Amino acid sequence: MSEPFQDVKLHSYIDDVYRNAPFTEPDFEVRAVVPERTFLEKLFLLHEEYHKTAETVRVTRMSRHLYDICQIMDTPIAERALGNKELYLSVMEHRRIFIGLRGFDYSTLLPQTLNIVPPADILEKWRQDYREMQNSMIYGDSPSYEHLIEKLRMLNDKINKLRY
């Protein structure tokens, strides 16, 4: 699924630092999936992951999705994503067809049953993964793991109240 999409202008940070260097390039556009879809994909990915057995749930670099969701959830992107029933259902259907996890009930991705909060049996593993992400992948200040989990709980409650 490469839609919905939008054209996005890209600009190099290197060009900012070396404005007159011979290797600078003009800004250019690329076609990118809209961030609303990416937000929903991350929500669904977490829900799907949590339905696996504790032994098969992926851990390495997965906590980045918690961080990303928390960064997006207080923006208009999240509001637009959650308020767009057509987009929500189309991303859900796309995952059913193209991800197709064996034995997974894709109807549980509906808002009333969606769960984006890590279950108790993997909380500590994901906490350690988040520490590693803070050291290697997240630049600058980052919220505590406890803060992420609390924000996810609030978002999860909000999503579960949606009716479509």
Give me the residue spans of the domains in the chain: 1-33, 35-160
- ∠ CA(104), CA(86), CA(108), 5° rounding? 20
Tens-place pLDDT, residues 84-107: 999 999 999 999 999 999 999 999
Q: Which two tokens stand for residue 70?
A: 């928390």
Whether the predicted pLDDT of 1 surpasses 60 = no
Distance from C-alpha of 150 to C-alpha of 143, rounded to nearest angstrom: 11
CB atoms within 10 A of CB 49: 20
The per-residue b/e assignment along 104-130, b for 16 or more CB within 10 angstroms, e otherwise, is: bebeebbbeebbbbbeeebeebbbebb
Q: How many CA atoms lie within 13 A of 113 on its CB side?
A: 10
Q: Which two tokens stand for residue 35?
A: 């961030």
Distance from C-alpha of 5 to C-alpha of 160, rounded to nearest angstrom: 27
Distance from C-alpha of 147 to C-alpha of 163, rounded to nearest angstrom: 27
Among 97, 76, 63, smallest CA distance to 34 is for 76
With tokens 């990303």, the residue in question is 68
Q: What is the pTM of this model?
A: 0.89
Per the model's pLDDT, the better-predicted residue between 77 and 12 turns out to be 77
pLDDT at position 9 is 94
